[in-house]
Amino acid sequence: MADLSIRIDFGPDLRVGPGKIALLEHIAALGSISAGGRAMDMSYRRAWELIEELNTTFGKPLVESRSGGKKGGGATLTPLGLALVTRYRAMERAAAAATEPHIEALAAEIAKA
Handedness of CA 47, 78, 76, 61 (dihedral sign): positive
pLDDT value at position 39? Answer: 96
DSSP character at residue 69: S
Domains and CATH numbers, the chain: 8-112 (1.10.10.10)
pTM above 0.85, yes or no: yes
Condensed to tens digits (0 to 9), the pLDDT of residues 42-73 reads 999 999 999 999 998 899 999 998 876 556 67
